Amino acid sequence: MRSWCSVAAIVAKDVAAELRSKETLSSMFIFALLVVVMFNFAFELRVDNVRQIAPGVLWVAFAFAGVLGFNRSFVLERENGCIEGLMLLPVERSTIYLGKFLGNVLFMLIAEALILPIFSVLFDLSILHPLLWLVVALGTVGLAAAGTFLAAMAVNTRAREIMLPILLFPVTVPVMIAATKATGQILDGRPVAELYAWLRLLLAFNLVFTLLAFLGFEYVLEE
Amino acid sequence: MCKTAYRWFPLLIGATALSMIGSLYLVFVYAPTEQMMGFVQRIFYFHVPAAWVGFLAFGVAFIAAMTFLVRRELGWDMLQIASVEIGILFSTMALVSGSLWARPVWNTWWTWDPRLTTTLVMWLYYVSTLLLRRIVEGEERRARFAAMLNVIGFINVPLVFLAIRLWRTIHPVLFTTQGFAMETSMLLTLAASLLAFTLLFACLLVIRMRLERLNNEIGRLKQSLTMLANEQRGVP
Amino acid sequence: MNNCGYVFAAYAFIWAMVLGYLYRIARRQSMLEREIAAMQEALEHGKQRGCCQNN
């Protein structure tokens, strides 16, 4: 019971900090926006039907925005010495992971909610499919599970900005593939049955990775 | 442990050389020419063992990583870094030889096929872990992070095999449900080549670990020197 | 004997990788050995001087 309170407290702390500065959310949003706009513009020049590449563009945008968010969630802690503070708490490291993970998911979902309408306008696609929102949520959870875990490691390095994407990309390939494929199928209006394989993959990855990260986080945040 | 390993090392090298030469004969002289692909098919006898030894190396790294996390002895960290490096070496060989084989047979250097994609992703992952090692400061932390990444990363290996069960692939499949889809002479040649590559892996591992031990010794010597210097200067 | 070139290239690449790797290790090894020898000398030197000073 107490662990869940600690998790909630960590999330609340991150949210409070964010409400004050709004740095992370705004940079995530702007970055994702840039990606969507630039890709749309660049491909419009060459590709006949830009809607074909829309799912890929969307998920690349989310992935990059996510990387920004994950990095910041630990960099800020590190800069202000909060990591030591967090570790002094009488909670297990895994709880810290959960708190950070949920915070990251929340921020990503907010950023994505802001991006989707713009995406819809630029690519001339309707986003009013509840299944689409489900895929976005599942993909976000997958990206955040891996991203939070790897960010905790990457932030300890000198080249922290570049280290996280390099580590994150190979790990989240299943998420990106499944999410992009599923998004494409939903936007194309394919029958729901075709989605199941991708949804299963997303769920499997989310479960496995969250569990692994939860168990392994102790080794990451030692000393 | 090191001393006995070094005594056997010349023997190991000899065995490797012999098996290499033997497998060469089998690959180029003994093995029959495949019907459909012709001479180019012989790349198979390098491509498959290279890939498998790569997986083996990452498996060794996985075990070393887990052992390190439990026992925290730096010897296991040395084993894991050596294994990962050599694993990347062999995986590169597999990827490139596969690509060279693909060009005449599939008419393309590369395709985003499940088997190829998962192998490339695995390669990228382990290369990133090496990069992380260079950048993280602190010997103990470096070892710990690397161990964590190697434990998680090993899931890539079964994924490469599973990928062909989940999705269709144009990559030839060796182990079907009906057993090996190959003639015995080819199987024999493959086995010989596999033995040669595995022995080569063992050799490289010993050599690389020797280097890592030297590295370690330098670290210790540096510490002793600093302590000595501090003593003489009267610094407590 | 078509496509011999590809088989040769694959084989050559494998050799190049293994030998290149061994070469790299050998170079690092000799560098490290030299460093170790130098440091051991410095350590000996320092210890001798230390003994003299204490006496």
In percent, the amount of chain A with pLDDT more than 70 equals 99
**A163, closest residue in chain B (CA to CA):** B132
Q: Which range of residues forms the domain containing residue B74?
A: 2-233
**Alpha-carbon separation of residue B208 from A137, B203, C16, C21, C25 (angstroms):** 45, 9, 17, 10, 7
List residues bridging with B180 in a β-sheet: B175
Q: C55 pLDDT exceeds 50?
A: no
User: B18-21 — which CB contacts under 8 Å span 24+ positions?
Assistant: B19/B192, B19/B195, B19/B196, B19/B199, B20/B196, B20/B199, B20/B200
Of the candidates B198, B178, B208, which has an alpha carbon nearest to the alpha carbon of residue B77? B208
* C and A make contact (3+ CB pairs below 8 Å): no
Residue located via tokens 């705004």: A26
CB atoms within 10 A of CB A38: 12
pTM for this model (two decimals)? 0.85
Residue C36, min C-alpha distance to chain B (Å): 6
Q: With H, G, I as helix, E, B as strand and everything else as coil, classify residue B34.
A: strand
Instruction: Say yes or no for a CB contact (<8 Å) between B93 and C17.
Output: yes
d(CA A186, CA A55): 10
Band (pLDDT 50/70/90 cuts) for residue B235 is: low
Nearest to C10 among B46, B89, B200 (CB): B46
* Backbone torsions φ then ψ of B168, nearest 5 degrees: -70, 150
In percent, the amount of chain B with pLDDT more than 90 equals 48
Band (pLDDT 50/70/90 cuts) for residue B177 is: low
Residue located via tokens 């394989």: A197
Instruction: Say yes or no for a CB contact (<8 Å) between C3 and B40.
Output: yes
| pLDDT recorded at residue B2 | 55
Question: Are the CB atoms for C2 and B39 separated by under 8 Å?
Answer: yes
Mean pLDDT of B208-216: 92
d(CA B200, CA C17): 12
Question: Are the CB atoms for B68 and B143 separated by under 8 Å?
Answer: yes
Q: In chain C, which residues have their Cβ closer than 8 Å to the Cβ of B207?
A: 22, 25
CB atoms within 10 A of CB B9: 15
| pLDDT recorded at residue B193 | 94
B179-180 and B175-176 strand pairing:
antiparallel
CB atoms within 10 A of CB A82: 14
Q: In chain A, which residues have their Cβ closer than 8 Å to the Cβ of B135?
A: 157-159, 163
Q: Which residue of B121, B162, B165 to mutate against A (max A Cβ within 10 Å)?
A: B121
Interface of C with B (CB under 8 A): 1-4, 6-7, 9-11, 13-14, 17-18, 21-22, 25, 28-29, 32-33, 35-36, 39-40, 42-43, 46-47, 49-50, 53
Question: Are the CB atoms for B185 and B25 separated by under 8 Å?
Answer: no
d(CA A17, CA A24): 10
Residue B199, min C-alpha distance to chain A (Å): 30
Residue C3, min C-alpha distance to chain B (Å): 6
In percent, the amount of chain B with pLDDT more than 70 equals 94
Q: Which residue of C1, C7, C19 to mutate against B (max B Cβ within 10 Å)?
A: C7
Specify the amino acid at residue B154.
Answer: F
d(CA A11, CA A14): 5
DSSP assigned state of B179: E
Q: In chain A, which residues have their Cβ closer than 8 Å to the Cβ of B147?
A: 219
Instruction: Say yes or no for a CB contact (<8 Å) between B210 and C2.
Output: no
| pLDDT recorded at residue B63 | 96
Q: B181 pLDDT exceeds 80?
A: no
Q: With H, G, I as helix, E, B as strand and everything else as coil, classify residue A200.
A: helix
Q: In chain A, which residues have their Cβ closer than 8 Å to the Cβ of B144?
A: 219-220, 222
More confident residue, B181 or A127: A127
CATH of the domain at B147: 1.20.120
Residue located via tokens 């830009």: A50
Work out the end-to-end distance of chain A between its first and last CA atoms, rounded to an integer number of angstroms. 26
Q: With an 8 Å Cβ cutoff, is B97 touching chain C?
A: yes
User: B174-178 — which CB contacts under 8 Å span 24+ positions?
Assistant: B174/B48
Of the candidates A130, A102, A101, which has an alpha carbon nearest to the alpha carbon of residue A116? A130
Mean pLDDT of B18-40: 88
Nearest to B93 among C2, C14, C53 (CB): C14
Residue A116: which residues within 8 A CB-CB, separation 6 or more?
A127, A136
Mean pLDDT of A141-165: 87
* Backbone torsions φ then ψ of B179, nearest 5 degrees: 100, -165
Specify the amino acid at residue C2.
Answer: N
Band (pLDDT 50/70/90 cuts) for residue C51 is: low
Buried b (16+ CB within 10 A) or exposed e, A195-213: beebbebbeebbeebbebb
DSSP letters along C1-55, please? -TTHHHHHHHHHHHHHHHHHHHHHHHHHHHHHHHHHHHHHHHHHHHHHHHHHHH-
| pLDDT recorded at residue B1 | 47
Residue-wise pLDDT tens digits, A171-212: 999 899 999 999 999 998 888 888 888 998 899 999 999 998
Mean pLDDT of B64-87: 94
Q: With an 8 Å Cβ cutoff, is A94 touching chain B?
A: no
d(CA B139, CA C28): 19
Instruction: Say yes or no for a CB contact (<8 Å) between A212 and B152.
Output: yes
A91 phi-psi bin (left φ>0, alpha ψ -120 to 50, beta other)? beta
| pLDDT recorded at residue B136 | 83
Specify the amino acid at residue B150.
Answer: N
The first and second tokens of residue B210, run together, are: 């020797």
In percent, the amount of chain A with pLDDT more than 90 equals 35
Q: How many domains does chain B have?
A: 1
Q: In chain A, which residues have their Cβ closer than 8 Å to the Cβ of B136?
A: 153, 156-157
Residue-wise pLDDT tens digits, A100-139: 999 999 999 999 999 999 999 888 888 888 999 999 999 9
Instruction: Say yes or no for a CB contact (<8 Å) between B43 and C40.
Output: no
More confident residue, B172 or B55: B55
